[in-house]
Structure 1
Amino acid sequence: MAFPFPQGIAPSEIAFLAEMEMVTIVPRQRLEGLELLGGPVEPLAPPRRASLPLWLALLLKRQRRANIIPPTWLHPEPLSLILEVESQHQDYKHAFSPPPPLPGQPSMHEPGPEPTARPQYTPDGEKYFAAPPFLPHNTAQARTSSGEVPALPYHWIEVGNMLLDAASDDLMDPDQIRRLLKDLREVRMSKMRAGVDVLDAAATGGGGVALTGVGAMELGEERGFLTGVVDNLRKIGASKEQARREQLAEQRANGGYNGTQDEEEDYMEF
């Protein structure tokens, strides 16, 4: 008997998508260019840096043909700052640190006009807007302004774990980075699970849940919990409404309802 697939996307599938993230490498030997489905890869010549998809960078790293330069956020200092902001800053007590801006958008910390995403074009001339994992948020060229909180990219958990597993010798203090990633993940997951009160209002149509800055793996892992809470809250709300309707009908049958007809109609409509 075949078991049904779980709803949503599996963690292994999320990790597979994250392998398309662009990272920066330093080749250790000359390599010819490649024609990939995602576009051509320029020839590699040491010590010139190059940007490659994560899956190809990990392959070259395992073959000892290249070293991977970690992204700006994957260092002990930026991760410590993000953890401090997420856990102690009052503005992010129930929110998440802002994500990196899209191409053509100013930083969320900088005042300015309403941002507009920058379109890109296919070889056939069709316009599209790039989205993770096809954004340079994990390259070494991605920099942050002075005094600005570093931003976690959409696939920060997947990229961090892959680099720790395959390229820990290219990271600065990998043990501390592993601890900071673990602490940061726990803090952010506790925020998502603590938002049940907001989910109560969202389940009855009274609002929504703000998930700005939440990563792909976090959404995939918490999808079952969030949807289960919302479904149960809807069932509880429906049972309460049914009980009120039965109580109202009983009061009308016994002649004990003193409200006006307009109030009754408004209540039944609600």
Structure 2
Amino acid sequence: MALPLPPGLTPPEVAFLCEMELVTVVPRQRLEGLELLGGTTPELRPPYRAVLPLWLALLLKRQRRANILPPPWLHPSSLDTILRLETEVHKETFSPPPLFPPSNNNLHETRSAPFLPSCTADAAADALPYHWLEVGEILLDAAPDDLVEPDTVRRLMRDLREVRMAKMRAGVAVLDGGAVVGLKGVGGMEVSEGRAFISGVIDNLRKIGASREQSRREREAEERENGYDDADEDEDMGL
């Protein structure tokens, strides 16, 4: 008998979906467009930039046929600015995500999160996209020579991850009072990693609430029973 799958996406599944994000490459060799399920990729002509899915850009990078341009938010100065926003401005919430691009009312060109062009060379520099953690770690592993100060980038990403996970853990404290945890701006991998912790807290709160309710009912039943006995005693005494 097959075991039931856990709810939600696992971290490896989130990382797999992340490879559909669009990134900017600088080709080193000429390559014709490829017919893919999502459409035809642009023709690569050095030294002109092109936008490709991350999985294809990684393949060309391993073959030394292209270099990957990191998104502006992955620059050390941008990560440092976002880290200050997380620690000094948005102390209890998460820094705002990138803004949606204006719509042209063309259904064939409309994209929705998390597959917005937020990891290309034209992305915003002051906001973390949905797949920021996965894209950053993949580029640090596969294309560190294309990044500016990769060691600094790795340190800043680690600091950002710790700060934001601490906020997520602290946010579940409001669940006991029936409030809602605000997760606006949280990334895909952060949600996947924090789902088990948050679900465990919610389950424990439900158990505590059920125990409190059972204790309340037992106390009320005991009080009603004691009150009925007192009334019988008063009647027997002629009071």
What TM-score, normalized to structure 1? 0.80
**What runs of 5+ residues in structure 1 fail to find an aligned partner?**
105-116, 123-127, 145-149, 257-270
Q: Name which of 226, 231, 238 aligns with 1:254.
A: 226
What are the equivalent positions in structure 2 for 1:1-270 lying under 5 Å apart? 4-89=4-89, 92-104=90-102, 119-122=105-108, 130-144=111-125, 150-201=126-177, 206-255=178-227
Give the total of aligned pairs. 228
- The question of whether the paired residues in 2 share the 8 Å contact of 1:30 and 1:45 is answered with yes
Give yes or no for contact 1:26–1:49 (8 Å, CA) kept in 2: yes
1:143–1:218 Cα change, 3 Å = closer
Contact kept in structure 2, 1:75 and 1:177, CA below 8 Å = yes
| Structure 2: runs of 5+ lacking an equivalent | 229-239
- The answer to whether the 8 Å contact 1:21/1:132 transfers is no
- Match for 1:246: what amino acid? E
1:120-152 deviation digits (Å, cap 9, x = unpaired): 423xxxxx95223421000001245xxxxx100
Pairwise CA distance, 1:190: 0.6
Secondary structure at the residue paired with 1:51? Answer: strand
The residue type paired with residue 192 of structure 1 is M
Q: Counterpart in 2 of 1:107? A: none
Q: Percent identity?
A: 64
Q: Secondary structure at the match of 1:212?
A: coil
How many Å separate the matches in 2 of 1:39 and 1:216?
Answer: 25
Letter in 2 for 1:169: D
SS in 2 for 1:255: helix
Equivalent position amino acid for 1:72 in 2: P
Looking at structure 2, the residues matched to 118 and 226 of structure 1 have their Cα atoms a distance apart, in angstroms, of 38
Residue matched to 2:233: none
Contact 1:120 1:130 in 2 (8 A): no
Q: Which has the higher helix share?
A: 2
| Matched position secondary structure for 1:43 | coil
User: 2: CA distance between counterparts of 1:80 and 1:28?
Assistant: 31
Question: TM-score scaled to structure 2, two decimals?
Answer: 0.90
| Counterpart residue type for residue 137 of structure 2 | N
Amino acid at match of 1:151: A
Mapped partners of 2:186, 2:105: distance in 1: 24
Alpha-carbon deviation of 1:10?
Answer: 1.2
Aligned partner letter, 1:164: L
RMSD: 1.7
Native 8 Å contact 2:98 2:124 kept in 1: no
Inter-partner Cα distance in structure 1 for 2:105 and 2:131: 22
Q: Structure 2: how far apart are the matches of 1:22 and 1:254?
A: 71
Deviation at 1:4, TM superposition (A): 4.7
Q: How far has the Cα of 1:88 moved from its partner?
A: 2.3
Which one-letter code corresponds to 2:28 in the other structure? R
Which deviates more, 63-72 or 133-142?
133-142
Q: Which has the larger radius of gyration?
A: 2
